[in-house]
Structure 1
């Protein structure tokens, strides 16, 4: 028997795994994918991955065989769609963005690109579209834009600095407060507006708190672009990212210059007598105590004097209190014009003034009082039918003397000047 040559059957080649892998990749892709045919007039959907179904709200069977125009609506840009059709007709790549609509009618911002698919002969058979829903990003960008506009429109000044203290953002409120525009200040440090009114310790304390991650709040005296000072109530807060790393410093400042000036004016009203311009007795007493302490610390002389307008009751009784007030004001301003810059005049009583003359010995103090006495008599000449004169007592505060005792001795000297005929100066006994 003739034997046959028995050969094993050929082993079939394994199927190409690429199509299955591509199908899995597209089905599981994060971006939405749609494939349409290349019909003459319409383009029918032949494939949509799960991501596209989730994005549009349509089930797969509701999309297959339909024209993608089903997803367009009132906010879909006609210009973008016209460009899309032009690209498809020419077989060119398309990329664009506009609004489409979900099954429930809600719009979403879509970014997509479309590529032509050609067969072996180069004929276009399909179009593949990769799409991405930008609604969340657009919402975040809109919110950020609104936030930026809100910061820019705020009346308070806002500065944002990087960790090196370089300004990266300044709003219009900051320009309104300081006069520095964002263009002028970006890339600089906030020290561009420093006035020099704060000590190095002030800034050391500020940086110590900020480096500890704590906010710093204080009143800053800054300098405007025109050189004038501006008082700002300011808070500086360090910002950290999710990893706890410092990313920025945010400073919010409010112009309180008007309030500070009003407070200072009010304090001055309390500090100075409104009629004469002299220190009030309460504020003058504080100044007097300070002058005594400084004189003792330096071992310097300190002279005090009490001056009284002679026969002032007669002025009020004969010519009325308004005229008496004019005399008081004139006397006070005349005395002040005779004093040195360091000397102070205090309205000690109704028509009585206390002079504080630091660094002034007995003879110089008497000379000053003589000048005051003569000047007052000349300045008030013609103000009244009678002559306006002063009596005064003057003395020095001894190093170990109680202040009240020194004033008592000087008051006794004033009394002697009155008893001796007025319009004269008496020196207090040691």
Structure 2
């Protein structure tokens, strides 16, 4: 009786199809001895067909797959069922690679299992990508706040640290833009420089002030990176930042300490130099007159010699407290050196400076300090147009010594 197709032709076509299949394919005996492999199987393992036929899959085993996997595999196959799973194997050159395998029992006409067909897929690249994604996920949830936006700057993801720092939950910011956190402390030029750096270098980092959910401003150190596709088009922006409020406070405290006399709490000479330059700059622009008052404690050496330096130090601290109590908010007191002090009056004419100096002199002499009657001599100078800081200070110093020569406990205004 004729058959509807040529058997030999069909088998030939089937063999060619298996040989050219993109899936690595093998046929083994029920004991696992390899009887056939296709071309892709050779490519994946690195072994030739001659090297594989007659061997068992042990030839490609890496030693890193747990024994329970093999036990489960054989138990499944001997039960006549299809086994699916992943294995870490080793190529001929020693390189490890991951495979996803499907092993199917083949039965004869009597229903007996006579062989197994193994179809393998090399999933090494996928496993590497999964590992990279796991690592990225761990890195994303580190202590640094992380924020990812799309190319239009719409937020697509934030991490836990972001919520801790800003007070915003993820669902409150997804779909928003980082403008939600802008503090208002930076001008357009700042953001222009930021975006120019991202466009030209693909990266920007620096200090920036943000606003949290409660409306509080806080400084962060932020790093923003543009992520591009294979064609160079930006697809995302990744921002990492951490709160530097404590660091800024420490810096401010260190700066404050660097400008303060540690004994009396008045400004030091460094602070005076800085503030005097700023006041003179305002004077040059015609905005405000600048005057100086130098004061010196009369006979202070005698106090130190008879009562000791500790007693003298307490008098200096009491004097500073008394002087600062009669100064205006815009006035400032500095310790010039030893028992000499300077008052900077950045919005005061010569007449006003003389009035304030006399008030200070009377206030200091009004009541004893540390049990002693204390007096001071004062010299006043108002800056002339174009006058240098050194010349102004020298004229105030001249006036001070004129007051001392005239008998102390008095104020002299420089010509």
Asked if Structure 1 and Structure 2 have the same fold, meaning a TM-score greater than 0.5 normalized by the shorter chain, the answer is yes
RMSD: 4.4
1:204 pairs with one of 178, 187, 192: 192
1:146 pairs with 2:146: no
Q: Distance in 1 between matches of 2:353 and 2:90?
A: 96
User: Bigger CA drift: 275-284 or 406-415?
Assistant: 406-415
Partner of 1:110: 99
1:247–1:85: structure 2 CA closer, same or farther, 3 Å change rule? farther
Partner SS state of residue 242, structure 1: coil
> Which of 366, 370, 374 is the matching residue for 1:383?
370
Match of 1:392 among 378, 387, 395: 378
1:318 alignment partner in structure 2: 306
2:156 and 2:166 map into 1 onto residues whose CA distance is 17
1:333 aligns to what? 321
Does residue 99 (structure 1) correspond to residue 87 (structure 2)? The answer is yes
Among residues 379, 403, 407, which one is paired with 1:417 in the alignment?
403
Per-residue deviation, 1:31: 0.6
Q: Call closer, same or farther: CA 1:27–1:362 in 2, change over 3 Å.
A: same
Distance across 1 between alignment mates of 2:158 and 2:262: 44
Please say if 1:426 is aligned against 2:412.
Answer: yes
With structure 1 as the length reference, what TM-score do the two structures score? 0.74
Give, in whole Å, the separation in 1 of the partners of 2:167 and 2:238: 19
Larger Rg: 1
| Cα contact 1:309–1:391 (8 A) shared by 2 | yes
Q: Write out per-residue CA displacement over residues 12-41 of structure 1, whole angstroms, 9 at most, x where no aligned residue.
A: x9899655444322201121234579xxx8
Task: Give the one of 28, 32, 36 matched to 2:24.
Answer: 32
Distance 1:311-1:20 versus aligned 2 partners, 3 A rule: same
Q: Quote how far apart the aligned CAs of 1:302 are.
A: 2.8
* Greater mean deviation of Cα atoms: 331-340 or 60-69: 60-69
CA distance in 2, matches of 1:65, 1:418: 115
Distance in 2 between residues matched to 1:228 and 1:382, nearest whole Å: 44
User: Do residues 355 (structure 1) and 347 (structure 2) align?
Assistant: no
SS class of match (1:369):
helix
* Whole-Å separation in 2 of the counterparts to 1:143 and 1:401: 67
- CA contact 1:57–1:102 (8 Å) conserved in 2: no
Give the whole-Å Cα distance in 1 for the aligned partners of 2:95 and 2:204.
47
- Cα distance in 2 for partners of 1:59, 1:403 equals 91
**Number of residue pairs aligned between Structure 1 and Structure 2:** 405
Cα distance in 1 for partners of 2:22, 2:243 equals 51
1:286 to 274, 297, 305: 274
Matched, 1:130 2:116: no
Moved more, 114-123 or 307-316: 114-123
Q: Secondary structure at the residue paired with 1:283? A: helix
TM-score, with structure 2 as normaliser: 0.76
